Amino acid sequence: MNTTINPMGQSLDRVDGLLKVTGQARYAGEFPEAGLLHGSVVSSTIAKGRVMSIDASAALKVPGVLMVLDHTNRPRLASYDEDYDDADSAEGSPFRPLYNDRVLYSGQPLALVVADTLELARYAGSLVRIEYACEPHETDLLAEQDAAHTAPAETPKPRGHFQTELAGAALSVDVRYSTPNEHHNPMEPHASTVLYQANGSLQIHDKTQGTQNCQSYIQKVFGLEKDQVRILAAFVGGAFGSGLRPQYQLPLAVMAALELRRSVRVTLTRQQMFTFGYRPRTLQRLRLGAAANGRLVAVGHDAVGQTSRFEDFTEHVVEWSGMLYKCDNVELTYKLASLDVYTPLDMRAPGAALGVNGLECAMDELACALAIDPVQLRLVNFAERNGNEDKPYSSKELRACYAQGAERFGWGQRNPEPRSMRKGRQLIGWGMAGGVWESMQMKASAKAKIDAEGKLTVSSATTDIGTGTYTVMTQIAAASAGVALENVTFVLGDSSLPTAPLQGGSFTVSSVGTAVQQACEALRGKLLNAAREINPGFASATVEQLTVDGGYMRFGEQQLALADIVRAVPGQQLEVQVDAEPDEEKRKPYATATHSAVFVEVQVDEDLGSVRVTRVVSAVAAGRVVNPKLARSQILGGVVWGVGMALHEEAQTDHNLGRTMNHSLAEYHIPVNADVGSIDVIFVEEKDDIVNALGSKGVGEIGICGVAAAVANAVYHATGKRIRDFPITLDKLI
């Protein structure tokens, strides 16, 4: 198609921006309903044991309280007492709220109080008395690391002769790093508003990254037909992975709604946001062996992560060490320690945010030991192929990321000697790291419909968790169909729409975007067929010969308005739905990944040990960037989060109680405006015809990868102190 006006690649404002800034965008816990009831969750105060009794008598005496549900009086459900999975489930048996008298972790939901108002429900919840039979618990990964078992996930097999080459290396480093539990903490808490319909069906507004995943889950648990459950998530106030699995407020709200035959809303408190999935604590060991010139001869990466007693949560922590650099002798191991905690959950760049952090810190330590510039060390070990898969990359502009990032940052002016750069009492440190994330495409469907006014509506059941999906899909649709942006509407966040995968993993644009593109191209074909009936001048035209833009179709001297074409067809609308899948034959010979290079400047107060990140340059190679403005925002968010991982973020557990202590945004520290300095984002030009039809790799995850390591490396350069226990707080520096 020849298109003279192409919105692809333009930095457009969000199409949903006005609704958000004027408060017209409604979130899961904001939908009004006459007679709506409110539920409040009563959580366990012990980490392990049994519930001996639950006394709800005082709560039930409160005027306006309708019900207190617990394991003794909940309805028997269709598949609640059998194993079932959701689309993001881990190995094992998923958690079932109010299942039985077992307490599996501190904060577990043990009862639901339902009342006329939220205030009444929460007050009545405080009156519920629970007696326990406590059992010894263990929530400390350090105490259980020796009992860790091999994770069920597939870890790349060892290659070469790691131990032999490590022993014979001219120089080697053997270092250990630890990272803490981290919680997603999106601005919008998890909530479910279940609107009970007269026919017994349910319309549910839920905070989720996958409407159809939640629909399937509710169907299976409650034994309902598909057309009895509709999940809506038009707007999501951040999720970062916390909405990939249905959280426990959803089945509790549905349970109450079905029991009372009333509409019910359950919203979790900020404290309860710490009682489900999180980024798991890890203990990592990196062993790197190198020749005198810096060439890696051995790479070993061992990781131990924590999981629950009832599921084995796995993520790709160590794989990145077998692919980011060229090395023929690699050994990777990944184990899990089972604790009396809730199951961890995917969290922005799951696995990579942790594993790349360890690898890139170790690479910096190796560079210092070899007295080689950190950028040069990475160039010496540049990998043209993914060593884990032994495949060439479909595209990889990481060298350009190093070069452009270093130039923009001024890396050439760096004095490599630690503590050699200062500004008054502030020690200046410069550090860098590389980043990598996988580029995936999933099956997805989309529908495109054009009406007699020339208005195009495209739909898919995907969600928009704040990334800009509404806008990017509108751009793709407008470009593919040749319709002006203002005449395009993209509809999402509804389980009744064409099938879409969970929104996560940076694959929404590549998956849903490809489906949108193909649907609009198929619609263009239908328009051409209809145009041939109206104007014989189009009889010999092929789709490739057409120029379609601004709502007009042109072929030579012939021109027709798309609206006029549609008016001439029966029903005065044209519609097409497509199912898009990855081109496996095209992709199969290649490895696909997004890459980045991050450069960081820190200032460390010599007396106080306080650290401030003053400058960051992030250079990213992510294929085709559909909307640079929105993509830049994704990288900015990832960088800020990486700064938090390095310096602030840590869920602190009182292991005597097995409970998170700092379960509020006042005490769970994340970067605020004063902590964020200048962030410069560079999108390195990268063309990729293999990864997917759009050539887009996604940017949601890559922004955080390597950032914490770059900060840690900069702190070492500033102070000469290597802190390997994250986050790097002033008490560890003084």
Buried b or exposed e, range 101-114, using 16+ CB within 10 angstroms: bebbbbbbbbbbbb
| Residue corresponding to tokens 């599996």 | 104
Kindly give, in sequence order, each residue whose CB lies less than 8 Å from that of residue 62, ignoring residues fewer than 6 positions away: 115, 120, 123, 124, 127
**H or E element in which residue 331 lies:** strand 330-339
Q: Which of 182, 188, 650, 701 is catalytic?
A: 701
d(CA 473, CA 451): 19
Whole-angstrom CA distances from 485 to 21, 359, 456, 470, 471 are: 21, 44, 9, 12, 10
| Residue corresponding to tokens 């860098």 | 432
Within 13 Å and on the Cβ side, how many CA atoms surround 28?
Answer: 35
Written as one string, the DSSP assignment of 407-453 is HHHTGGG---STT--EETTEEEEEEEEEEEEE-----EEEEEEEETT
CB 646 within 8 A of CB 732: no
d(CA 382, CA 324): 8
d(CA 566, CA 526): 10
- Amino acid making up residue 411: W
Kindly give, in sequence order, each residue whose CB lies less than 8 Å from that of residue 506, ignoring residues fewer than 6 positions away: 437, 439, 440, 594, 697, 698, 699, 700, 701, 702
- CB neighbour class for 227 (10 Å; exposed up to 12, middle 13-18, buried from 19): exposed
CB 182 within 8 A of CB 651: yes
Edge-to-edge strands, sheet with 547-549 = 547-549, 552-555, 558-561
Whole-angstrom CA distances from 579 to 136, 448, 492, 508, 516 are: 52, 12, 16, 14, 9
Q: Is 701 one of the catalytic residues? A: yes
Calculated CA dihedral for residues 521, 525, 530, 534, nearest 10 degrees: 100
Distance of CA 683 to the CA centre of its chain: 20
- Amino acid making up residue 431: G
Dihedral sign from CA coordinates of 369, 372, 378, 384: negative
| Residue corresponding to tokens 């810190």 | 361
CB 60 within 8 A of CB 109: no
60: left (phi over 0), alpha (psi -120 to 50) or beta: alpha
Kindly give, in sequence order, each residue whose CB lies less than 8 Å from that of residue 179, ignoring residues fewer than 6 positions away: 279, 281, 282, 284, 354, 357, 645, 726
d(CA 295, CA 388): 18
Phi and psi angles of residue 362, each rounded to the nearest 5 degrees, phi first: -65, -40
Query: Which residues are identified as catalytic?
Result: 701
